[in-house]
Amino acid sequence: METLKPILFSDCIPVKGVNRSIICDTQNNKYYFIPNGLYDILKTYYGETIDFVKKEFNNEYDEIIDEYFVFLSSKKLIFFNSSPDLFPKINLKWNSPSLVTNMIIDYDDIQHDFEDIIQQLEDLKCSYIQLRFFKKTNLNFISNLIQIVNDKKARVISIDFILPYDDSFSKKELDELLNENPRIHAIIIFNAPKEKSYDAIWKKMGYLMFVKKNIINEKHCGILNTEYFYSNIKLFSESQQHNTCLNRKISIDKNGNIKNCPSMPQSFGNVKETTLLEALEHKDFKKYWNITKDQIDVCKDCEFRHICTDCRAYKENSEDDYSKPLKCGYSPYTNEWKEWSTNPLKQKAIEYYGMQDLVKRDD
């Protein structure tokens, strides 16, 4: 037993913040808080026995060290083996054969040529699409859009629909839509009278969610909180070298303008005259793709930085590409979450982006 050494499962990856650390269980979409002292032990004494670690601390902290490893075992984050070299670390290099991996298309009054867009997306090898509707639509229209994807035999494997609440939608019709279309990852209905979520119809696909929040335009995007954390190896590895919101993303805003994200000001041409590939080849299109959380002010000190997505559209300092996302209320220095919109230090940016109506008020 003395020769057995604690080994972290390779998909359980510790991340150090300024005050505390987390271990990201990227297999099970979970994370666990640990003190920075334990993070340092895991890094410094990797491949050593627990007795060795205790001796390194002159046996003054044996009880605490035992507690640490009991905790890690109880959460199934470690196992014991005498040959740690047999268990290499996970490779965190991220790559994709797709020129674009994900797309957002916003709908308001203008109808986009969806058939043409899907053909272009197919050429770019894009697999994930999100369609946001700011105005009411009908389920036949949604079905027709999916039919276009089916007819093209496109490689799109996941479509999210974000739709305004409409009391003419019955749960039965929505279920039928999900049942008949396994490419739908989720239908999220906003401005609903009450919050309600239903289980996925298939494993990790076919979610139906009703949320009370109203989404009247793209300014409602970019909120960062624990609900948007994803502890998975794709995001974790992508975040090492790339931006977790904009990397390999392309968007069409409600007016047909091709952008990095619909919330960003720069347009690379209108989809009526410019192809997605032409927009991608513009010298500025990829300028945010490699801004990592390790480079962003405040985020670089945050323990959540590899499971949190980013937002470069709305920043605390609109002129600084490396400024913290405006709509995050977390401080890694105090480990507290606070309402972002009422933070006095954010008011200038809120005004700049014209988001005064998003500020939460007590009255």
Question: Using CB under 6 A, which residues numbered 39 to 78 contact ligand SF4?
Answer: none
Give the x-and-dash track for 318-357 against ligand SF4 (CB under 6 A): ------xx--x-x-x-------------------------
Report the residue number, 220 or 324, with the smaller CB distance to ligand SF4: 324
Cβ at position 188, least distance to ligand SF4 in Å: 21
Computed on alpha carbons and rounded to an integer, the radius of gyration of the chain in Å comes to 23
Interface with ligand SF4 (CB under 6 A), residue total: 13
Report the residue number, 208 or 307, with the smaller CB distance to ligand SF4: 307
- Parallel, antiparallel, or unpaired: how do β-strands 12-16 and 20-25 relate? antiparallel
Cβ at position 191, least distance to ligand SF4 in Å: 26
Report the residue number, 6 or 14, with the smaller CB distance to ligand SF4: 14
Cβ at position 70, least distance to ligand SF4 in Å: 29
Report the residue number, 39 or 330, with the smaller CB distance to ligand SF4: 330
Report the residue number, 150 or 290, with the smaller CB distance to ligand SF4: 290
Cβ at position 325, least distance to ligand SF4 in Å: 5
What residues are paired with 161 via a beta bridge? 131, 187
Query: Contact between 304 and ligand SF4 (CB under 6 A)?
Result: yes
Cβ at position 226, least distance to ligand SF4 in Å: 8
Report the residue number, 242 or 324, with the smaller CB distance to ligand SF4: 324
Q: Contact with ligand SF4 (CB under 6 A): which of 188, 308, 313, 350?
A: 308
Query: Contact between 288 and ligand SF4 (CB under 6 A)?
Result: no
| Residue 8 structure tokens | 């972290």
Q: Contact with ligand SF4 (CB under 6 A): which of 162, 187, 298, 355?
A: 298
Question: Taking a C-beta distance cutoff of 8 angstroms, is the pair 63, 52 a contact?
Answer: no
Cβ at position 306, least distance to ligand SF4 in Å: 8
CA distances from 274 to 105, 114, 132, 256, 295 (A): 15, 14, 21, 10, 32
Query: Contact between 305 and ligand SF4 (CB under 6 A)?
Result: yes
Give the x-and-dash track for 217-246 against ligand SF4 (CB under 6 A): -------x----------------------
CA distances from 194 to 39, 112, 190, 224 (A): 41, 31, 10, 22
Report the residue number, 121 or 296, with the smaller CB distance to ligand SF4: 296
Report the residue number, 181 or 292, with the smaller CB distance to ligand SF4: 292
Report the residue number, 185 or 293, with the smaller CB distance to ligand SF4: 293
Q: Which residues bind ligand SF4 (CB under 6 A)?
A: 224, 293, 298-299, 302, 304-305, 308, 324-325, 328, 330, 332
